[in-house]
């Protein structure tokens, strides 16, 4: 089934600098859970930490600029018109040195949109920076990673560290944004 593009203002996810502005093109709902698709505009230099999507593949299609994709420790440079698919369970990352525009697709969609919107609210409403500054921010990001481990697992430190910090956060009364 082909989903239709999202057409209201809620389709923009702006991370205020990490990693740029995302336009939601297809939601899990619109594709019956097959995929979650965004168009990322990353103006500033950025790099994501190595991570794994245990149950979904991720595809990058570069529209403009250069995106460097790391898969299992090896970097590949993608330019406009090129794409790369990362299989489920594969450690990967991406970075850019100059502005880049990319179509990003997670298949299946799982709860990726919810994950990214919760991350956005942590950044914009609670001021959580990347990397986190202070114990409270570290615990809140650990809670995010622990809550969405079907979607994304950070390669290091081990998941049990995030789960332990998330448990501490719950004990302290911290909650993820709604």
Read out DSSP for 11-62? GEEE-SSSS-EEEEEE-TTTTTTS-EEEEEEE-S-EEPPPEE-SS-EEEEEE
Final residue in a domain of this structure, among 75, 107, 139? 107
Query: Which residue numbers in the chain have pLDDT < 50?
Result: 1-9
Position 14 scores a pLDDT of: 66
Q: Are residues 79 and 18 in the same domain?
A: yes
Position 19 scores a pLDDT of: 62
Q: Are residues 45 and 80 in the same domain?
A: yes
Position 6 scores a pLDDT of: 41
The model's pTM is 0.86
- The CA distances from residue 81 to 60, 66, 74, 164, in Å, are 10, 10, 21, 42
Domain that holds residue 50: 9-107
User: pLDDT tens for residues 39-71?
Assistant: 999 888 888 889 999 999 999 999 999 999 999
Q: Are 145 and 128 in contact (CB under 8 A)?
A: no
Position 1 scores a pLDDT of: 37
Position 57 scores a pLDDT of: 97
Final residue in a domain of this structure, among 60, 88, 107? 107
Position 123 scores a pLDDT of: 86
């Amino acid at each position: 089934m082909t989903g239709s593009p999202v057409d209201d203002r809620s389709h923009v996810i702006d991370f205020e600098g990490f990693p740029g502005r995302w336009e939601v093109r297809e939601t899990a709902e619109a594709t019956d859970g097959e995929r979650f698709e965004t168009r990322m505009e990353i103006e500033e230099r950025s790099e994501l930490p190595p991570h794994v999507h245990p149950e979904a593949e991720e595809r990058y299609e570069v529209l403009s600029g250069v995106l460097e994709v790391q898969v299992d420790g090896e970097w590949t440079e993608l330019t406009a018109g090129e794409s790369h698919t990362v299989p489920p369970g594969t450690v990967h990352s991406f970075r850019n040195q100059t502005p880049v525009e990319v179509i990003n697709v997670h298949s299946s969609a799982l709860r990726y949109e919810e994950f990214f919107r919760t991350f956005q609210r942590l950044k914009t409403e609670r001021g959580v920076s990347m990397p986190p500054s202070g114990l409270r921010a570290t615990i809140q990001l650990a809670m995010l990673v622990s809550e969405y481990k079907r979607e994304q697992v950070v390669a290091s430190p081990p998941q049990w560290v995030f789960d332990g910090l998330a448990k501490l956060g719950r004990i302290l009364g911290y909650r993820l944004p709604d």
